[in-house]
Amino acid sequence: MYIVIGKSGQLASELKATMDKKNVVFLGRNEINLFSNQDIINTLSQYNPKAIINSAAYTNVDEAESNKIAAFALNEKAVKFLANFCADKDIRFIHTSTDFVFDGSQSRPYEADDSVNPINVYGLSKLGGEIAIRNSNFKNYSIIRTSWLYSVYGKNFVKTMLNLMASKNILNIVDDQIGRPTNARGLAKFIWSIVDEPFVENIYHWSDLGKASWFEFANEIYSQGQNLGLINNNVTINGISTSAYPTAAIRPKYSVLSVCSKSEKTWQESLQDMLIELNK
């Protein structure tokens, strides 16, 4: 059997939707206290899993700037507790991380072994989790970095854009931040594909193929949304610079991750899959 830490988030929901006939226990905040090492030990010791998949994270990038303690508690300290438990019990550990461990200063896709240099609290806290795993003296782990995640579940950029495009006629979207939009459905399938594999790699990068700015992403959402009948409004989408849309957290200008060999779909194709499902 397998344990997924997280229950209602985008990735946990997609892991549930794609788990096939696997025996999986999903542990949300009501079932496990990730801020208590003893509670983690007591809860997880009730099971005998082949692997533990951690999909729980503090993901509000801007709020993390003023909530550093909470961000590091969930993204670093809790990950350390989980990694140490897996190391002690020799349980495979799969953990998701982010493109925000990079500073965005280069112009080619980031490889898994490129130097990390987070420029915001969220990225620092996620890097802290990665380091905690590596320092657990345990080899049977996989860290999967991903980017610009969206899903039919939860809150995300795609669903926010659909809501705005239904009610507004003009949108101003940042056009100088570049990354890889990623459907969480594909990430979930990838995780299930490696969960039983013997140790191969410690760090993977997973995203859909191709790259885009948020402006280009929004335009594709609008185009596909109209074609599917999800958007009946006429919307003008303007590209603006990051400086014209200040946020609490600094974002990397270029956070394109290298592509895993198992990635098959372009981000446009994966977006279409998600919108079709949302339209059912």
Helix (H, G, I), strand (E, B) or coil at 139: coil
Q: Confirm if 101 and 123 have CB atoms less than 8 A apart.
A: yes
Q: Which of 2, 122, 141, 254 is catalytic?
A: 122
- Beta bridge mates, 182: 149
Q: Is 2 a catalytic residue?
A: no
Asked whether residue 260 carries a pLDDT value surpassing 90, the answer given is no
Band (pLDDT 50/70/90 cuts) for residue 238 is very high
Asked whether residue 199 carries a pLDDT value surpassing 70, the answer given is no
Please give the average per-residue pLDDT across 113-126, as a whole number. 98
Digit-coded pLDDT (tens) for 200-225: 669 999 999 999 999 999 999 999 99
Digit-coded pLDDT (tens) for 18-68: 998 889 999 999 999 999 999 999 999 999 999 999 999 999 999 999 999
Show the domains of the chain with their CATH numbers: 2-155+181-209+256-263 (3.40.50.720)
| Average pLDDT taken over every residue of the chain | 95
Q: Confirm if 144 and 206 have CB atoms less than 8 A apart.
A: yes
Q: What tokens does 117 get?
A: 């240099």
Sign for the CA dihedral angle at 252, 258, 260, 264 comes to positive
Query: Strand pairing of 24-27 and 178-179?
Result: unpaired
How many residues make up the chain in this entry?
A: 280
| CB-based contacts of 198, cutoff 8 Å, min separation 6 | none
pLDDT at 200: 64
Please give the average per-residue pLDDT across 164-172, as a whole number. 96
Band (pLDDT 50/70/90 cuts) for residue 263 is confident
The 3-class secondary structure across 234-279, one letter per residue, is CCEEEEECHHHCCCCCCCCCECCECCCCCCCCEHHHHHHHHHHHHC
Q: What tokens does 16 get?
A: 């549930």
Q: Confirm if 215 and 237 have CB atoms less than 8 A apart.
A: yes
What whole-number distance in Å separates Cα of residue 187 and Cα of residue 207? 7
Half-sphere exposure of 109 (CA within 13 A, CB side): 19
Number of Cβ atoms within 10 Å of the Cβ of 230 = 17
Owner of token pair 């490696």: 194
Number of Cβ atoms within 10 Å of the Cβ of 67 = 14
Q: What tokens does 140 get?
A: 């049977």
pLDDT at 270: 98
